[in-house]
Chain A
Amino acid sequence: MESQNRLWRVLLLALPILVFSVLVIWPLLSSFYYSFTNWNGFNRDYEFLGLRNFAKIWTDRLFFNAIVNTTIWMAAALVLPTLTGLFLALLLDRQVRGARIFKTVFYLPICLSAIVVGQIWIWIYQPDWGLLNTFVKLAGNPDFNYAWLARPDSALFAVIVAWSWQQTGLSMVIYLAGLTSIPSEMLEVCEIEGATAWQRIRRVVIPLLTPSTVVVVALSMINSLKGFDILYIMTGGGPFNSSDTLAMHMYNESFKKYLMGYGSAISVVLFLIALTIIGVYFRQLRKVDEIYG
């Protein structure tokens, strides 16, 4: 009986380990391996280059452009959905009429694929008949014709807005769950002590939502680091690399220029950056855990 149980345990564990190994561990190790080669993605006769791909990164102007764009992308993708999600959660947490419908509506975009979201926002940004420019025209600027996604100074921010629109629903739901876990007595203490609505939110609710913020930040960080598909569909990294993030740059080098070895080196750097951020995040997480348990 005991040995049969053990067999089951091994079998049940083996399947996910196998899937994880094939889909995560193997590609990860392959990337590390190819980052030291000049493989073009097709031929088997590649050479071992040592650290030359990594040395090239330091002289790659587009790589540093991608670093700047990724920093802006991550910072905005972290802050915007978090703040809007928190704002909506605070608004919908009260017993307002139609709160359930609003919650569903705001959550809906997260159920859509990034490609669909991207296409919706391409239409919204369309210079001639897009929703955004139509509104601006109706607001008294009939000649307004701004190509949001075709201008280097607005392309990245235009994608950030679309991304935030999609991600807001997720942070809203996490914050709504967090709000229900705040003990009612703590809010009653605020009522008895005479806190204003703003004091209650700033000094009690937001700090007590820290565990939720930790989750929101983690998800936003992971999602934004992975953020590729929406950029790909909306701008493809352009115009003039103005929305080229690290993930986008890696894709372009690997699959458009067929420099799979160099692309792998970029992916290794991206991996190390992600690892550092996650390391810092976990250290902060421990501090949060000490306070909120």
Chain B
Amino acid sequence: MDEVNVLNETPKKGGQIKFLIGGALIIAAIVLLIFTNTKAGAQYFLTVDELIDRQDEMMGKEVRISGAVLGDSIDYNTDTLVLHFSVAHVPGDNKDIEAAGGLAFVLHQAVNDPSLNRIPVEYVGVMPDLLRDEAQAIMTGKMGDDGVFYAEELLLKCPTKYEEAVPEQSS
């Protein structure tokens, strides 16, 4: 990488070698850190359709999915903090969403179109304030054998009401 050359201009023989080696070692360490952790920490970002298509392959793997929350399906047990709800398929690509009329519209359509794929979700924890009908849920978790998506992290977007700077809700 360039930095070392930049920093050690006009090296004279001998004296600068140790800096080059030292710098190279640090850069190598950083590259190694990024490389190994990317491999270990990578999560597929899937749509509901993709997850269902590739269910066998994705079983037990940590993945990230997004979908439209079906308001009627929200069921929260306040004794155990177990939260159940279902999400319907929405396109994963921003361009597709914009082309289809914007996120709010796409979410509204998804919730009201029974022909779309849906996945039941289970999550344990505090029910986020933004969880409601036609919100977009972005979840990290694993698909179980029973066809339920067990979410470990649940983030929500509600574009219908607040177009501007809506913050995340996380658990």
- Do A and B come from the same complex? no
Residues of B within 8 A of A (CB): none
